[in-house]
Amino acid sequence: MTLNTTEPGLRHRRLESVFIAVLWVIPVLLAGLNWRLGGPLPPLFMLAGGLVVAALPTFYWRWRRESGAVPVVSSMALAAQIALLTITSLPLRPEGLQLYQDMHFWFFAGLCLCACWLDRRAVLGFFGVAVLYQLAAYWLLANFWFAAEIDVARQLVRLGMFGATAAALFVLTSRWRTARYLHRNV
């Protein structure tokens, strides 16, 4: 049995439930990590931000499930929460930059989670929000923090790896949808 995001089956409902639950767990992690690291923003602010970001996909999941937007909206919300998680690790001194750079690997993990929807729109939504965050963060860091520490070549390599991963997942989810369409119409 395969998962089809257009057919509300048991597996799809389970995936929706797990994905939405993850979106509600991340704000607690945000607040705890921010408190532990002494992040740049107050822990309650990060908790509130994470909860607000979790509320929109939950609304779609509970009241607009038939619209088909749950995979896209929840994937975009996951990217926004990972961006908040990364901001939490933003160091106030150059020696703390390594953790901030390592936290970006959560974007790769989140992109792979979004591929579980088997919907290329979810992959594109996550990728779009993640790239917008990266561009904004790079601009802010280059202008306000660590101006001498930012290496454009490393940023471009990371962006290339992330783009290649997103492209591969986009192709896989597109092929799955095409194969499913052909299977139905044979």
Q: Tell the residue number behind the tokens 């779609």, with chain if given.
A: 60
Q: pLDDT digits over 97-124, tens only?
A: 777 778 888 999 999 999 988 889 999 9
CB 127 within 8 A of CB 171: no
Residue 131 pLDDT more than 60? yes
| Predicted model pTM | 0.80
- The helix-helix angle for 10-37 and 70-88 (nearest 10°) equals 20
What DSSP line would sit under 91-141, residue for residue? -SSGGGHHHHHHHTHHHHHHHHHHHTT--HHHHHHHHHHHHHHHHHHHHHH
Q: Report pLDDT for 92.
A: 62
Least confident of 68-77, 81-90, 127-136, 148-157: 148-157
pLDDT bracket for residue 75 (50, 70, 90):
very high
